[in-house]
Amino acid sequence: MPVPLAPYPTPPAPYTPPANGAQSQLVCSGCRNLLLYPVGANSVCCAVCNAVTAVPPPGTEMAQLVCGGCHTLLMYIRGATSVQCSCCHTVNLALEANQVAHVNCGNCRMLLMYQYGARSVKCAVCNFVTSVGASASATEQKFNN
Ligand SMILES: [Zn+2]
Ligand SMILES: [Zn+2]
Ligand SMILES: [Zn+2]
């Protein structure tokens, strides 16, 4: 005889308290410390310097990188191509694996798209290979304080 199903199978928990994982991060606008805050908060008060940092609106995907000049953790809106450090004013390239950049063909000036990380782009029009790997020098200039 098969055992009949219980009339009340254990229901999946309808409400999961945001204990683990429901936290997000941002960098304090005052002391640049990395702050953890519960998802849904509008602003975060820093425990270190008491500065209130506004949380970016939901849907704004934030990414992080470490400043190449002073190694401060910087936050930026995903999709941005460069981030200027508020501490040392170094402009950091925001290299996203899936981000697309543009370059003009070195031969016919056609606007080409390529994925970050690519060293060169081959033009679909004239087949000229444009090197993009070393083109970061223009954004590496530092501003002297
Ligand atoms: Zn702070
Ligand atoms: Zn910096
Ligand atoms: Zn071309």
Q: What is the pLDDT of residues 89-137, one digit of tens each?
A: 999 888 654 566 788 999 999 998 887 678 899 999 999 999 986 544 4
**How many separate domains does the chain show?**
1
**107-113: long-range contacts at Cβ-Cβ below 8 A with a sequence spacing of 24 or more?**
none
What domain range is 107 assigned to?
97-135
Tokens 């004013």, located at residue: 89
DSSP code for 69: T
Question: Which numbered ligand comes closest to the C-alpha of 31?
Answer: 1
Question: Which numbered ligand comes closest to the C-alpha of 26?
Answer: 1
74 occurs within a structural domain: no
Q: What digits encode the pLDDT tens for the residues 44-57?
A: 999 999 999 988 77
33 occurs within a structural domain: no
Q: How far is the CA of 125 from the centre of ligand 2 (A)?
A: 40
101 occurs within a structural domain: yes
Single pTM value for the model = 0.37
15 occurs within a structural domain: no
C-beta of residue 54 within 8 angstroms of C-beta of residue 45: no
pLDDT at residue 15, as a whole number: 52
Q: Can you read off the two tokens belonging to residue 118? A: 């690519």
53 occurs within a structural domain: no
What percentage of residues in the chain have a pLDDT greater than 90? 27
Q: How far is the CA of 125 from the centre of ligand 3 (A)?
A: 5
127 occurs within a structural domain: yes
Whose CA is closest to 136, among 113, 122, 118, 111? Answer: 118
pLDDT at residue 21, as a whole number: 56
